Each structure stands twice: as C-alpha cells, then as structure tokens.
Chain A
Amino acid sequence: MEIERYGTNYLEERKLVKRWKGPIPAIVCLIFTLVIFYATWWIFQDPRGLMRMYTPYVGYMYTRWWLIVLIWMVYIFNYWPFPRSWLNKTHPLLKGVVLTAISVGVLYVLIKGFFEGLLGNLGLAYFNPEQLLKLPGITEFFAIEYASLACLMFAAIASWLSPAWIVACEEAPWQDLNQPSKGISIWIATFFLSTLIYFMTMHSHMGILYYPWQYFTSIAPPYWEKFADTVSGNFHISWIMCCTVSVWLVETIWERYPFSLIKRNWLRRIVAFFGIIAIAFAMHFFLYFVQELTWGPAIRGTRRDFAPDWRWLHVGEMAVIFLVPALFIKFYCGNWPTKFSLPVNVLIRTVIAIIAAALIYIFYYKTSHLFLGTQKGFSHPQQFPMIPTIWLIDIWLAHHWFMDNWPGWKMVPKTAEEIAQEHAEHEAMIKDVRWNASFGWGLGAGAVAGVAVFFTTMWILPILYNAINIIK
C-alpha cells in the first residue's frame, strides 16, 4: 500500500501551464489579486471600511499571523490532512476557498485560544486585553493594542524561523518522517525557538511598556539600549523582519543560492541558517544608514522620522517592500531570467527587485493615503506600510499555493520524467558554478566592484532623494 504523501513536494511537482501567451497571465493574476486585496482591505482593515482593524495593531497582528499560518500549512505540514489526489484534482477556486477558510480558522483559534486564552490567562497577562484592563488607568483601546503588539512581535519571529527551518535547515533532522509527524516536529521546534527569541528580544520591550518598569520580570532598561540608541524593541523587529525577507529571497529569486553550492549537508544547512541572519544584519544596518544619509542622523528622544526607534521600524518596512517584487518575479514571472548562469540570474533578479522596490516605495508614500485610508507622511505612528504589503503577500501566497495561480495558469502534475529532468537541470546548474582561475579572478574583481557599488550608492542616494519629491 502506498503511503499518502499529502502535499509533500506538491509545489515542486506541479506544472503551471500558462493559459495565454506572453505576460497576459501575469497581468490577469496581478489584477485579480489586487482586486481581492482592495476588497478585503476595505472589509477588514481600512479605517473608513467595514471592520476597521487597522487600529493599527489589531489588523497588523492578524495580517502577520495569517502569513505564518499559511507557511505552517504549506511549508511545514505540506497541506496535511488533504490527500495529494484532492490537491491535484480540485478546482483552484474551491481549493482556495477551503484552504483559506481553514487558515483563517487556525488563525482565530491561535489568537483567541492560545495567545489570549491560554498564555494571556495563565502565563503572561499582556497577551490578554481583559487582564490588562485590570491595571488602573488603562483604556480598552490600548489594552487591545498592547496585547496585539505582543502577539505580532511573536509573529515577527515565527515568520522568520518557520520558513527558515525548511529553506535553510531543509527540515533536518525530520526530513524523512511522514506527515503529520514531520510537521508537528518542525512546528514544535520552530515554535520553541520563536518563544526563546521572543523572551530575549521582545519581552523586555513589553516589560517597560508599563509604569513603573517591570524590573523583576524583564531586563530594564533593555540590554540593547546603548547599541541601538533606543530602549524600544523596534531594534529587534528590524533585524528579524530582515531575516524574514532574507529567507524568502534565498528561497525565491536566489533559488537557495549561494548556499546550494555547499555539498556537505550539515555544513550547507548551518551556513544557510546563519548566512540568512548575516544577510539580514547587512540589510538591517544598511537600511538604517540609508535613512541617516537622506534624513540626517537620528536624535534619540525625538518623535517620528528622527527617532531611532522609528528608523529601526522603517528598516523593516523597507525590507518588506523589497519582498513584494521578489515574490512577484518568482510567482508570476517564472523567476525570470533563467537563461544565464545561476549567479548571473540571481544578480539580475536582485537588481530588478531593488529597482522595483524603490518604485513601489515612492508610489506607496505618494498615494497610499489616497486609497488605503492611511495618513500622509513617512513616520506617522499609525502609518504601517508593513500591513498592506504583508496583506498583499498573504493574498499572493494563498493565490500561488492554494489556487495554483488561477486564472492565469492551469495546474498539471509533472510526470516522473519531467521531475527527474528538472532535478538534473538543477544539479547541472549548481555544478556549473565551479572553482577555477577565471572564476576566482571574477570573484575578486566582483568583490571590489561590490564595495564600489556600496560607496557609490552612499554617495548618490542623498542626491537622488533630494531630486525626488516623494511627499509634497
């Protein structure tokens, strides 16, 4: 009897066939998902809409946790308990509705049951608004906001670690288990790690959120104060968001390169896990520096765009904007280009994503207040570009993972030969990147050019920023 595989390798083993030629499927899917985005934004998030969850933390919390639930369902549990035959044969619309409904159900149980009910009542009061309301002077609005903030800070960590265990650690050591054993094992491991990192990065932020500082339950002032120039946990939000973005860059437009070049399994996994963190820290520091160059150095104690805590938050916001074009290239553009060598393909995609991210950034801040109900300006306390961007990403993930890019594409299972051929091509592409003298000279010259690119960018950024009037 054959063991049910559920969705294991479903994403790799499905062939998405374009329904129309050229860019039409991508354009159709973009319009389709943007319509869903705007309709759902109006229903759930918009301050002028129906449910008005963009308070902002309530909407932000649900947006982030929905992202993680989607990752759990697809990457960790491989669509379990849905059998492969159901995934292969069911109409994408029905699949989309059923799987999205389940993700929302899990999301609700997680927030209301686990965080508010269990953790908030039996462990840490700040996860439950009702417990917070017992504090003298606190209003219901801020009780809900604080509890949502705690939940979403946890979510930030989980949104990095949950996919990292799959992308970097390649499910080890549970890769050979069947579902749901594999999913449960990875879920527990990543949730445990998320909890540890939450306590080391975010708990102290929550501990000083109340008067007086909670010296006996958290490190107050937090240990990062001098280094980050703020006591705010936004310093951690920043690098953790960059970790989330790095994981997905590595997984999508980088095709797990350059880590895939390492042949030894254990070494590749460890280097990939910590390499993603290193890339994230490079983004974390760089995007902070970018702000210092364009707006001037941060001044501790100020509000808005000069405050170090906001600058760190904005690093995360910029990083997430970078993820939007990267995912679009992977999901709807077939990871274009693919005709060059792996390093060249990756470099071209990265440059495209950077340019597209800069354009999206300008477009967002020029127009978002006109149609999303947000406030004009970069640094308004209730201006969270991460919410609409992650909301759009959530919709793209549901569309790509649950609906097989319907209606632009049609899903056809690949044959065994096609799968074997694809693996062989992938292996060949990796083997194609091999060490020799020319490669070495290229690497050296490229590294020098990379340093030059950095300093040229530093020189040109303030000039560019001053030349473009983003907010009139």
Chain B
Amino acid sequence: MSENKDKTSRRDFLKGAAMGVAGGALATMLVYSYSPWRKRHFAKVERKLEDIGVCKKVNITNISETSWFDNAALMGDIKGAGGLLVNQYKYNWPPFGDGTGLGNGSYEKGIAKIKHLLPDRLEEAWEIISANSVHPDNAGGYCALIEVEELNGQKHKYLLDSGWSYKWMDECFKREGIDEMLKNREIEALIMTHEHFDHFWGIPVTLKYDPTITMYIPEGVYPEGLQYVKDSGHQGKLVKIKPGLNKYIPGMASFLFSVPIICRVYGEQSLYFNVKDKGLVSVTGCCHQGIIQFAETAYREIKYENDNLHGVYGGLHISPFEDWDPKYDDLAISLGKYGFEKVGCNHCTGIICAKKFIAAGYPVVRGTARYRSKDTAYLGNGDRIAFGV
C-alpha cells in the first residue's frame, strides 16, 4: 500500500515537474526575452581603434554611376531568367552572350566568342557581344576615380571598379581622360569592390589601356570571375583581399564584408579614408553590407580624426531598382544619428532614397544629371566630390 502511494506520489511529482518546466521556461521566455533586463547579457562593444593613418584629402570623380539605363528591361531580364538568385553568368547578358537567349548562358560559352579579342580589340568584341547578348544597349557600369593626397603631399590615383559595357565604359574613360591616365601609368591600381556584372565585367576596358595594372579583388570572387581576369589579358599583380580590414596607404584602407549578394555573388570590399581634421570618409561600390553596418564597423575597428563620420560617396544599395521596402525607411530614418556631413550618393542608392534623404534634411550633395544620369537628387556621371578641401 505504502509502496503504491510512494509510486503515485513520485509519478504525480514527475507529471507536475514536466508541466512546471515547460510553464516556467515559457513564462520566462515571455517576460524576460524582450525586456530591458536582457541588455545586461550583451557584450560591451570594445573598440579596436586600429590606426590606418591619416590623409590630407580625397577627390572623387564619378566616371559612371549608371549601371544600366532601363530598370524595366533589367528587371524583365532577371524575372525572365528566374529571379534574383540566378547565377549572373547564366543571364546571357553582355559580354557573355552566346546567342542561346535569356537564362541559358554560361561563362565558358560566352567568353569563347570574344576571348581572342581581349583586351585590345574591344570594338570588334562588342559587335560580337551585341549580336549574341540580351539587351546589350542596356549595359552601363559603375566606376569612379579616387585621388588621394597624403599628408606629405604625395598623390595617388585609383580606379574603383571597371563598369560593365565595353562600349559605354570606353566612352566614359575618354570623357574623363581615364584612358590617358591609364596609358601613362598614373593610376596605381584597380580596386574591385565585388563581382557584380555592372562593376566587374568591364575589366577589359581598363586592361586595354593598362594590362599591367595591379588589381585588388575580394576573396569571394567565383572561379568564373577569376578566369575572366586572366582571359581579359591581365598581366599585373592580382591581390586577393581577405575578409576584414586591409590597409592600402596612410589614411586609406578597405574592409571586406563576407555578405551574400544577389545574382550569386559573395563578398564586397568598401573603402575608408581618414581625412585630416575632418574624420572618416566611406567610399563604396554598392555597399551591400549597408552603410550603417559600414559605419558601425568603422566605429568598432578603426581610429579616425575627431571620432567623426565626415562623408560618404557611392552606391548605398538601398533601392537600386527604384523598388522600396519599409526596411529602407529604417535606414533613411536612422542615418541622421550618424551625423555624416557630406553625403555623395548615387548608383544603387536609388533616386527615391536620395529624395527621402533630402526630405529628411541630410547634407546630400546634388548632381548635374548629365551624361544619361537621370536626376539631380544625387551625384551623376561626370560629377565630382571632394573631402578635406
């Protein structure tokens, strides 16, 4: 009898305990998990304050921010090929068109048609490309010239990305005198932010004028991209940038973010400049990691003048297709508290976003809307911006 009672009592205790464990855990989850008390569990941000040096000033010329000219055509291609996740080398876009139509391309078949013409005979190559690719005339490109002056007066020139269309980029290079600078070996290096078609596929245009140029590419570039660098006739030094902070010259560094990006691309590097008496300047290709993440990373990782975020230039990747999402409003609302004093945005920032920035009272540097740039709300093709002047 007593044994039975013990058994019952042990069994009942277990039943109660099983119910209690679940109830106790669920109740704590409900009450504690989103309460202010939870913040005690967060590790305190420890600033590394890495010294990247200081530079005197940075001048940027926007060679081309118009990566494509017609959003509807580009998005129609993306939709037709299967959406934003399809490998970019399969779209059959220029320069890898093989004549088999949208979504059926490949790097190997595309490059086979033009490889023998790279990098010198780009006009002939473009004729073949135009005959075999989807929407060849929609291709533009993103590319900027960065001029950095060190504190001792020494000047450096870099190309940030090399655009997309051979035809368009060659025109842009001639318009801004980049062709001559490359021929004269004035430009020290080509810094590739990431592997996207509109930044990466115009490499032969740079190599046409300087095949020996040093190239910096992110570690996440896929085998097709690496092969393309070779097939384009690159003879110079190829440096693969590792994730994290990478120093270039005093006052200039890049940070490679390991982020997955649409069209099967992985990783993007963006640039930091520590400008004397002004603060940090952020220069980006597309900034797929997000400008606030970029700013927060700078805060955690590096030391900069006056602990001040001075300026930003480039694509901020907010509404590249003039699409919108409430999360972009989070950015537009939050950016103000970072206190950037000069916002030179364009490209994948999106015109809607630039207008929202202006409406929010941010110091957006307006453009001139020349050379097929669409709006004065941001810096267009041929426009310039200077930091530290």
Verify B293–A303 contact, CB threshold 8 A.
yes
Q: Does A43 count as interface, using CB distance less than 8 angstroms?
A: no
Interface string of A129-172 (1 = CB under 8 A from B): 00000000111111011000000000000000000000000000
Q: For A230, what are the chain B residues with a Cβ–Cβ distance below 8 Å?
A: 326-327, 330
Interface string of B15-35 (1 = CB under 8 A from A): 111111111111111101110
Q: For A211, what are the chain B residues with a Cβ–Cβ distance below 8 Å?
A: 324, 352, 355-356
Q: Does A88 count as interface, using CB distance less than 8 angstroms?
A: no
Q: Closest CB-CB distance, B356 to chain A, in whole Å?
A: 7
Q: Closest CB-CB distance, A125 to chain B, in whole Å?
A: 15
Q: Identify whether the interface residues of B are mostly helix, strand, loop, or mixed.
A: helix
Q: Give me the interface of A with B, judged by CB distance under 8 Å.
A: 47-49, 52, 54-56, 137-142, 144-145, 205, 208-211, 221-222, 230-234, 258, 278-279, 281-283, 285-286, 288-289, 292-293, 296-297, 299-304, 306-310, 341-344, 346-347, 350, 373-377, 379-383, 432-434, 436-451, 453-455, 458
Verify B25–A139 contact, CB threshold 8 A.
no
Q: Give me the interface of B with A, judged by CB distance under 8 Å.
A: 8-30, 32-34, 38-39, 41-43, 71-72, 75-76, 78-79, 81-87, 259-262, 264, 266, 288-290, 292-293, 296, 317, 321-327, 329-335, 352, 355-356
Verify B290–A444 contact, CB threshold 8 A.
no
For B318, the closest partner residue in chain A by CB is A303
Q: For B29, what are the chain A residues with a Cβ–Cβ distance below 8 Å?
A: 282-283, 285-286, 454
Cα A285 to Cα B288 with chains together (Å)? 28
Cα A161 to Cα B63 with chains together (Å)? 55
Cα A376 to Cα B261 with chains together (Å)? 9
Verify B327–A292 contact, CB threshold 8 A.
no
Cα A370 to Cα B72 with chains together (Å)? 30
Cα A447 to Cα B256 with chains together (Å)? 47
Q: For B322, what are the chain A residues with a Cβ–Cβ distance below 8 Å?
A: 137-139
Cα A288 to Cα B86 with chains together (Å)? 30
Task: Report which of B76, B262, B326 forms a contact with A381, defined as CB distance below 8 A.
Answer: B262
Q: For B43, what are the chain A residues with a Cβ–Cβ distance below 8 Å?
A: 296
For B293, the closest partner residue in chain A by CB is A302
Cα A54 to Cα B310 with chains together (Å)? 41
- Given A382-B85, A439-B13, A450-B28, 19 more pairs with CB closer than 8 A: A52-B81, A139-B76, A141-B75, A231-B327, A231-B329, A232-B326, A232-B327, A286-B29, A288-B33, A289-B32, A300-B292, A301-B290, A343-B19, A344-B14, A376-B266, A442-B18, A446-B21, A446-B24, A450-B22
Verify A301–B326 contact, CB threshold 8 A.
no
Task: Report which of B8, B20, B82, B325 forms a contact with A438, defined as CB distance below 8 A.
Answer: B8
Cα A446 to Cα B23 with chains together (Å)? 8
With A285-B29, A458-B41 already in contact, the answer to whether A380 and B260 are too (CB < 8 A) is: yes
Verify B18–A347 contact, CB threshold 8 A.
yes
Task: Report which of A301, A443, A454 forms a contact with B335, defined as CB distance below 8 A.
Answer: A301
Q: Closest CB-CB distance, B214 to chain A, in whole Å?
A: 28
Cα A230 to Cα B76 with chains together (Å)? 31
Q: Closest CB-CB distance, A446 to chain B, in whole Å?
A: 2
For B331, the closest partner residue in chain A by CB is A301
Verify A451–B28 contact, CB threshold 8 A.
yes
With A211-B355, A347-B21 already in contact, the answer to whether A341 and B327 are too (CB < 8 A) is: no
With A208-B326, A302-B292, A450-B28 already in contact, the answer to whether A344 and B18 are too (CB < 8 A) is: yes
Verify B330–A445 contact, CB threshold 8 A.
no
Verify A231–B292 contact, CB threshold 8 A.
no
Q: For A142, what are the chain B residues with a Cβ–Cβ distance below 8 Å?
A: 75, 321, 323
With A55-B84, A301-B290 already in contact, the answer to whether A447 and B41 are too (CB < 8 A) is: no
Verify A383–B260 contact, CB threshold 8 A.
yes
Task: Report which of B39, B42, B290, B324 forms a contact with A304, defined as CB distance below 8 A.
Answer: B290
Q: For A144, what are the chain B residues with a Cβ–Cβ distance below 8 Å?
A: 79
Q: Closest CB-CB distance, A144 to chain B, in whole Å?
A: 7
Verify A140–B11 contact, CB threshold 8 A.
no
Task: Report which of B20, B76, B84 forms a contact with A446, defined as CB distance below 8 A.
Answer: B20
Q: Which of B261, B264, B324, B329 has the most chain A CB within a 10 Å cutoff?
A: B329
Q: Closest CB-CB distance, B382 to chain A, in whole Å?
A: 24
Task: Report which of B41, B264, B330 forms a contact with A308, defined as CB distance below 8 A.
Answer: B330
Verify A453–B293 contact, CB threshold 8 A.
no
Verify A47–B28 contact, CB threshold 8 A.
no
With A310-B327, A438-B9, A454-B25 already in contact, the answer to whether A300 and B334 are too (CB < 8 A) is: yes
Verify A446–B17 contact, CB threshold 8 A.
yes
Verify B83–A56 contact, CB threshold 8 A.
yes
Q: For B11, what are the chain A residues with a Cβ–Cβ distance below 8 Å?
A: 341
Cα A444 to Cα B23 with chains together (Å)? 10
Q: Closest CB-CB distance, A185 to chain B, in whole Å?
A: 33
Verify A303–B289 contact, CB threshold 8 A.
yes
Verify A47–B85 contact, CB threshold 8 A.
yes
For B72, the closest partner residue in chain A by CB is A139
For A49, the closest partner residue in chain B by CB is B82
Verify B42–A297 contact, CB threshold 8 A.
yes
Cα A374 to Cα B85 with chains together (Å)? 7
With A137-B71, A230-B330, A301-B333 already in contact, the answer to whether A445 and B324 are too (CB < 8 A) is: no
Verify A303–B26 contact, CB threshold 8 A.
no
Task: Report which of B15, B78, B321, B330 forms a contact with A341, defined as CB distance below 8 A.
Answer: B15
Cα A382 to Cα B87 with chains together (Å)? 13
Verify B326–A309 contact, CB threshold 8 A.
yes
Task: Report which of A137, A205, A301 forms a contact with B292, defined as CB distance below 8 A.
Answer: A301
Residue pairs across A and B with Cβ atoms less than 8 A apart, 8 shown, are A52-B82, A138-B323, A289-B33, A300-B333, A306-B290, A344-B18, A434-B12, A442-B15
Q: For B87, what are the chain A residues with a Cβ–Cβ distance below 8 Å?
A: 48
Q: Please name the 8 residue pairs, one residue from A and one from B, whose CB atoms are nearest each other, closest first.
A: A446-B20, A450-B24, A442-B16, A301-B334, A303-B290, A52-B82, A377-B260, A447-B24
